[in-house]
Structure 1
Amino acid sequence: MDCTNCATGLDHCHGTLVTHSDGLAECTEAGCTDTDRPRHTLVIDCEAMTGGCVCALAPLEALRRAS
C-alpha cells in the first residue's frame, strides 16, 4: 500500500505524535524533530500510552507526598 501523502509530496510524518501534560510533544518516528500537529495523522495524549507516562504520574506522586 502506498501513502497518498508521500505520493503527492505533502509534508507529513508516519509516526504518532505524543502530547504531554506540560505542553511538550514527541514523535514515535525515529528522526522526526518537527512536532507540529498538522504533520501527524495520529496524535495521542501521553496518558493513553500503555503503562502511562512519567509526566502524567508526577502530579499524582506529588499529591501523595503532600498528604
Structure 2
Amino acid sequence: MGVERMHSPKYWRMRAEEFRTKADNCEFPQTRETLRQVAENYEQLARSAEQVVTLAELDEAFQRRRAG
C-alpha cells in the first residue's frame, strides 16, 4: 500500500483518544485496561505513520534533486 493510501498520524491519534475516553468511562477494570492497550496500539500506529510519511517526504525531495 502506498503512502497516499494510508491513514494519517492524526487519524490514529484521534482513534487513540477515542479509546482512552472509552477506558475512562468504563467501570470494569479488565475492560478498561484492554481499552487503554488498544489506545496505545493506535498511538504506535500514529508513530509508525509519521515515520512512513517522513521517509516518503525525504524520498520525494531526493527525487526532485536528482531530476533538477
TM-score (norm 1): 0.33
Greater length-normalized contact order (CA 8 Å, ≥ 6 residues apart): 2
Query: Which has the larger Rg?
Result: 2
User: Greater share of strand residues, 1 or 2?
Assistant: 1
TM-score (norm 2): 0.33
User: Greater share of helix residues, 1 or 2?
Assistant: 2
